């Protein structure tokens, strides 16, 4: 079964809803958002990002910036990075979901994470989605 990007995002969202309670968030501001970062695991040289490399990146780069909680899901993604004639590429992906205060400090931390991933693993981009969220007791 082929999964479209919309299907992938819907599946990821439903999975997040199921596991959201596992990642407590301290509310530092009235407004919170949910950021979803999609980290492609295929490297330009074909070697890929190993589970050990991902685990180290998570521990050393992501967790120190968001220690209050986060969720990581394994996913499959596909898309094209150019005009409609550009071939569709597919790859395994790590989907990082973080519910955090809607602050400039959090935005800066997310930017640092994306830049570190692109530099460390020679990636062109990290797909980033942000949506409003509401914490429910």
- Each of the 137 residues of the chain gets a pLDDT tens digit; together they read 344 444 444 444 444 443 444 444 444 447 999 999 999 999 878 889 999 999 999 999 999 999 999 999 999 999 887 899 999 989 999 999 999 999 999 999 999 999 999 999 999 899 999 999 999 98
**What pTM, to 2 d.p., does this model score?**
0.76
Give the model's pLDDT for residue 19.
41
Q: Dihedral through CA 105, CA 53, CA 25, CA 10, nearest 10?
A: 100
Domains of the chain by start residue, with CATH = 5-19+30-80+88-133 (3.30.70.120)
Distance between CA atoms of 102 and 105, rounded to whole angstroms? 9
Give the model's pLDDT for residue 17.
40
Give the model's pLDDT for residue 47.
84
Give the model's pLDDT for residue 82.
83
Give the model's pLDDT for residue 16.
44
Distance between CA atoms of 5 and 44, rounded to whole angstroms? 21
SS3 annotation, 26-70: CCCCCCEEEEEEEEECCCCCCCCCCHHHHHHHHHHHHCCCCCCCC
Cβ-contact 92, 76 below 8 angstroms: yes
């Amino acid at each position: 079964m082929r999964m479209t990007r919309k299907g992938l995002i819907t599946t990821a969202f439903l999975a997040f809803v199921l596991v959201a309670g596992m990642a407590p968030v301290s509310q530092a501001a009235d407004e919170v958002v949910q950021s979803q970062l999609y980290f492609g695991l295929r490297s330009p040289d074909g070697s890929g990002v190993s589970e050990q490399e991902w685990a180290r990146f998570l521990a050393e780069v992501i967790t120190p910036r968001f220690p209050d909680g986060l969720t990581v899901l394994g996913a499959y993604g596909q898309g094209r990075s150019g005009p409609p004639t550009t071939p569709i590429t597919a790859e395994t992906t790590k989907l990082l979901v973080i519910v955090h205060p809607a602050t400039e400090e959090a935005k800066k931390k997310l930017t640092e994470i994306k830049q570190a991933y692109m530099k460390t693993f020679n990636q062109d981009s990290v797909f980033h989605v942000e949506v409003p969220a509401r914490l429910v007791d």
